[in-house]
Copies of this chain bind each other. A is one copy, B any other.
Amino acid sequence: MSASVKAAVIGASGYSGIELLRLMLRHPGIDLVAVTSRALAGRVLSGEFPRLRGIPPADDLVFSEPDVELVRQSGAQAAFLALPHGVSAQFAKPLLAAGIKVIDLSADFRLRSPRLYEEFYGHPHPHPELLAEAVYALPEIRAEAIASARLIACPGCYPTSILLPLIPLLRAGLLDLAQPVSVASMSGASGAGRNASVPLLFCEVNGSLRSYSVPRHRHLSEIGQELEVAAGQPVPLVFVPHLVPVHAGICTTIFARPAAGVQPEQIDAALRDAYAAEPFVRLLGRDQSPDTKHVAGTNFIDIGWAHDPRTGQLILLSAEDNIGKGASGQAIQNFNLAFGFPAVTGLLQV
């Protein structure tokens, strides 16, 4: 194991920022040296996040302005960016120039194509020249590239829950891509962010089940990109996200058609081949439904599947914590890969 790595968090005021801090404080190989937030500059970490009171060094660490020079002076070797898209790229550039590895939780470096970025995010990419070296960092899929990357783009929460079940099947050619893959996902409210907003009030979310961003959620862009990489061809995809009254958790249900002649056992085998040795993918097997309550607060993704003999359709089922494996847990997992720690360091706790 490496010695402790000095790390900074840029923009730690949202739910994935808090989760990131929580995980960093218990990671034996991370020395948290700087935390920045424009809104919280000058405040003690545990003053803003009372949950962290009494956990060293949260009572001593003070939020600083998000200034790259300050981060550099802190000696940080790694910087986690928990910033809005568009803003993240502006920090990544000088941090990389200062020799700091960047682990970005925003969408800024997930897409290979600046044109696609502009189409889905509504503004030109601030630093398209960095896209080529950025790694779309699903650790179960791209561990080697992550280990040597300077710029690590952590996948989105929905994409993680959709890509991990599908990629092994696409790589093995088990799906018939003449039929679109249809995905319904449910997410807890932390996925919508920690911003003052009437639709996210307790009284609006509690008792409410609803889809949103239909038919075109931004995450379609990165899901499509990565499915195409796995399949070697474009994969038609329909995606409907839903907001449901839990704090954290994504439950994803995928409908797809197996390729002609594929037997159900091949589905299981492909998943096992891909993930049997992966510590954070828990394969539940056939006709087993994952439950977000078993993964909330963890870095696990649970995957089940079923075959419907009446229609021949395949159903893939996954559950993860949207701010865990879907964001901050995965960021730490990528950190472990990038700095030579065992994959499970700091993450194998429930």
Contacts and interface: CB of A to CB of B under 8 A. Distances in A.
Interface of A: 15, 22, 25-26, 50-55, 179-180, 182, 184, 186, 188-190, 194-198, 200-212, 214-216, 220, 236-238, 240, 242, 244-247, 249-251, 253, 255, 257, 279-280, 282, 287, 289-298, 300, 302, 304, 306-313, 315, 317, 319, 348-350
A55 B297 contact: no
Contact of A214 (B186, B205, B306): B306
Contacts of A349: 25-26, 55, 349
Contacts of A251: 209-211, 242
A323 B308 CA distance: 28
B210 A291 contact: yes
A282 B54 contact: yes
A52 B295 CA distance: 9
A294 B49 CA distance: 8
A237 B188 CA distance: 28
A278 to B, nearest CB: 10
Number of copies: 4
Contacts of A310: 215-216, 220, 236-237
A186 B207 CA distance: 12
B214 A189 contact: no
A245 B242 contact: no
27 contacts: A25-B349, A50-B302, A52-B350, A54-B279, A54-B300, A55-B348, A55-B349, A180-B311, A180-B312, A189-B201, A189-B203, A189-B206, A190-B203, A202-B204, A206-B246, A207-B247, A207-B292, A208-B293, A209-B249, A210-B251, A210-B290, A210-B291, A210-B292, A212-B289, A215-B308, A237-B311, A245-B246
A277 to B, nearest CB: 12
A249 B211 contact: no
A290 B241 CA distance: 13
Nearest to A295: B51
A44 to B, nearest CB: 14
Contacts of A291: 50, 208-210
B307 A215 contact: yes
Closest A-B pairs by Cβ, 5 of them: A184-B184, A209-B251, A202-B205, A182-B255, A210-B291
A200 B202 contact: yes
Contact of A196 (B197, B208, B282): B197
Contacts of A180: 255, 257, 311-313
A253 B252 CA distance: 13
Nearest to A299: B54
A186 B242 contact: yes
Contacts of A302: 50, 53
A326 to B, nearest CB: 13
Of A202, A242, A279, the most chain B CB neighbours within 10 A belong to A202
A282 B215 contact: no
Contacts of A201: 189, 194, 196-197, 200-202
A285 B199 CA distance: 20
Contacts of A237: 310-311
Contacts of A246: 206-209, 244-245
B55 A350 contact: yes
A231 to B, nearest CB: 15
